[in-house]
Amino acid sequence: MIGATIILYKPDMDLIRQLLQSVIDQIDVVSIIDNSPEPTPIQFPTTNFHYHHFPNNVGIAAAQNVGLIDLKTAGCEYGLLLDQDSSIDADFAFRLSSLLVASKIEKRPLVAIGPRIICSFSEKSVKPRVQREIAVYDELVCVTQIISSGMMIDLSKLDSIGFKEVGLFIDGVDHEWCWRAKTKNLLVAIAENVEMIHRLGDSRSKFAGITYKVGSPIRLYYQFRNILLLARRGYVPRYWKMRNIMVLPIRFLANALLQPNRLIRIKYMLCGLWDGIFKKQGAFSEHW
């Protein structure tokens, strides 16, 4: 069986209805984790459906863990993680699960496969500039990390790796899990012939010749803090540490000078740097 976990936070109802309809048609068990302040009105015509509402927002890591536990408890072999801003084709789950089944038969050390991401802003394939390819298996390219939305996990290997790290709350959760999987000699891969449209950030902006994602001010807290938290860990790739630490001053200036709500953005960035230095984890509200 294949299950899916969908994370919601104040979703666009038209988009979530489209996503849910696509999911219903190709998934056996669905778990929706709703971090919105008010419950999202959803009508779901299936008995294999779980809905959890956390009005105080437990973060994406804790939400995904709740959903993954639902899927494992229901007896699913594979679990698909989805964000509300993603759009999948009618055979999306079948194609990813088929690749995982084939990899298991070939005894490849794969724990998760994700699609090639198409950015909804540029309508172009997202290919990280510095991420290295580890191995190539036919249609699969093994990489150091993939994003959580569209990621299909072999749930039988989840106990070996562990669940998502709740303390990170949101940013870096997906990458950290992939890097942790590698310490167990398990890999993640991108399916070259499977694509998914996904919204990355709220908009785009450019500063000092660098194009960057623009999100809500509070996301800056988690981004700045979690870079400092993860940069201390030995299993985190060196190229990721160097790139993100070097870009931090540029991101600070860009958000402090060019974006709206500049004072609020500066506040969140400074709080993130402070908590990152002193190794504080969890939600922003727990510390400020």
Q: Is the pLDDT of residue 172 over 70?
A: yes
Radius of gyration of the chain, Cα coordinates, nearest whole angstrom: 19
CB 229 within 8 A of CB 281: yes
Confidence of residue 236 (pLDDT cuts 50, 70, 90): very high
Q: Is the pLDDT of residue 68 over 90?
A: yes
Measured between alpha carbons, how far is residue 154 from residues 32, 71, 73, 172, 281 in Å? 19, 11, 14, 21, 28
d(CA 178, CA 218): 25
Whole-prediction pTM? 0.93
Tens digit of each residue's pLDDT (9 = 90 or more) over 75-116: 999 999 999 988 899 999 999 999 999 999 999 999 999 999
d(CA 75, CA 47): 15
**Span between the terminal Cα atoms of the chain, in Å:** 43
Measured between alpha carbons, how far is residue 165 from residues 56, 59, 64, 149, 169 in Å? 18, 10, 10, 16, 7
Q: Sketch the domain layout of the chain as residue ranges.
A: 2-198, 203-286
Beta bridge mates, 3: 29, 79
- Sign for the CA dihedral angle at 185, 191, 197, 200 comes to positive
99 versus 45: the higher-pLDDT residue is 99
Q: What is the four-CA torsion angle of 15, 219, 241, 122, rounded to 10 degrees?
A: 40
DSSP 125: B
Beta bridge mates, 203: 214
* CATH number of this structure's domain 2-198: 3.90.550.10
The candidate with the shortest Cα–Cα distance to 36, out of 84, 71, 87, is: 84
216 versus 129: the higher-pLDDT residue is 216
CB 196 within 8 A of CB 96: no
Note the pLDDT of residue 188. 96
